[in-house]
Amino acid sequence: MTILIVTDTFQQTNGVSTTYKNLRRVAKSRQLRFRVLHPSLYRWMPLPFYPEIQLNMQPVRLWRTLNRIQPKQLHIATEGVMGLVARHWCKTRGIAYTTSYHTRFPEYLALMWRIPARWTYAYLRWFHQGAHATFVTTESMRDTLHGHGFKHLVIWSRGVSEQLISPPLSPVHQHKIRVLNVGRVSREKNLEALCVYQDQFDITIAGDGPYLSTLKRNYPRVHFVGYQYGEALASLYATHDVFAFPSRTDTFGIVMIEAMCNGLPVAAFNVTGPRDVIINGCSGVLDDNLGQAIEHCRHLDKATIRQQARSQWTWAHCFDTFQQHYPSECLHPEATAATLQHASS
């Protein structure tokens, strides 16, 4: 069986590409065939308001690719042009497929462009309708989408690669708390809610994006170091005291569990995503005042956070969940029935 993924983003640095690159790595270690169709295989252009999403300018070529592969089942990761073509191809041929809900586009578009969230939710509800299962990252996200009429929702957690975990370092006592944030530097990430504390904390932001020049101009005492990968990123986690996650619109935030696997407590607002990942007062602090959350995180036990996170968040477990619900003819009838019942719950 070949596991086929169709996605509108794969070559970029974001949670979607991180997820499927790690699934591909696990599949390879298990000697399973895993193939990804993404816009970089075709002529494409960046989505104007979200350049990490690539618009496939050759949808007919994707259609022909699917005709050539003739998959028996596939997974649609995103709701853009690639996803639309794959969905229509499956519908016209009666092919089973699963989907994922990675990005809170209704809230994002409402924030950035004042597009009513109900319009975007209507499109997304239509898009995911008919999927064998729709994967969501957290219980809160499942409850939110269920309230908007989505069906067959399955909770699908994430993992952390070993190369992003640094050996624990001896504590260094400094006057200011060293605070780290990692991710896309864009307006919807609400990074200004962290940057306003530039005089109170020693803040480092690792990432890039359309809002970077604005933040650099307005917050000169914040350290902006660009995207970091592998050992360099692991070193950043190891040399900071607290990880701050000010976003109010993310569905999950893989960087939070990367931080916790390195022993960093996470300071965040009490919203979907953080509240599903953080054990308040143990692995981090949820508070309407981000500065107070950071201060309180300083007193949490980093060794305990590291131990608990590393036992919980693994890509192997993430792959197992994905494979269990992937619409496969290889599943026994009893397993298929159980899977459908679980996905509908």
pLDDT in tens, 210-229: 999 999 999 999 999 999 99
User: What is the distance between the alpha carbons of residues 215 and 195, in angstroms, rounded to a whole number?
Assistant: 8
Q: How far apart are the two ends of the chain, measured CA to CA in Å?
A: 27
What lies within 8 Å, CB to CB, of 63 at 6+ separation is: 85, 89
Number of residues that this document lists for the chain: 345
User: pTM for this one?
Assistant: 0.84
Does the fold of domain 162-312 match that of domain 2-159+315-344? Answer: yes
> pLDDT per residue over 150-193, tens digit each?
999 999 999 999 899 998 877 667 789 999 999 999 998 999 99
- Res 93: pLDDT: 95
Domain boundaries, the chain: 2-159+315-344, 162-312
Strands (E) in 28-177, as ranges, are: 33-37, 44-47, 50-56, 73-76, 96-100, 134-136, 153-155
pLDDT tens, per residue, the chain with 345 residues: 789 999 999 998 888 999 999 999 999 999 999 999 999 999 999 887 777 778 999 999 999 999 999 999 899 999 999 999 999 999 999 999 999 999 889 998 888 889 999 999 999 999 999 999 999 999 999 999 999 999 999 999 999 998 999 988 776 677 899 999 999 999 989 999 999 999 999 999 999 999 999 999 999 999 999 999 999 999 999 999 999 999 998 989 999 999 999 999 999 999 989 999 999 999 999 999 999 999 999 999 999 999 999 999 999 999 999 999 987 654 333 333 333 344 333
Which fold does the domain 162-312 belong to in CATH? Rossmann fold (3.40.50)
CATH 3.40.50.2000 applies to domain 2-159+315-344: yes
Instruction: Find the farthest-apart pair of alpha carbons in the chain and give their distance in angstroms, rounded.
Output: 64
Report pLDDT for 328.
65
Interior/surface letters 249-280, b for 16+ CB within 10 angstroms, e for the rest: bbbbbbbbbbbbbbbbbbbbbebbbbbbbbee
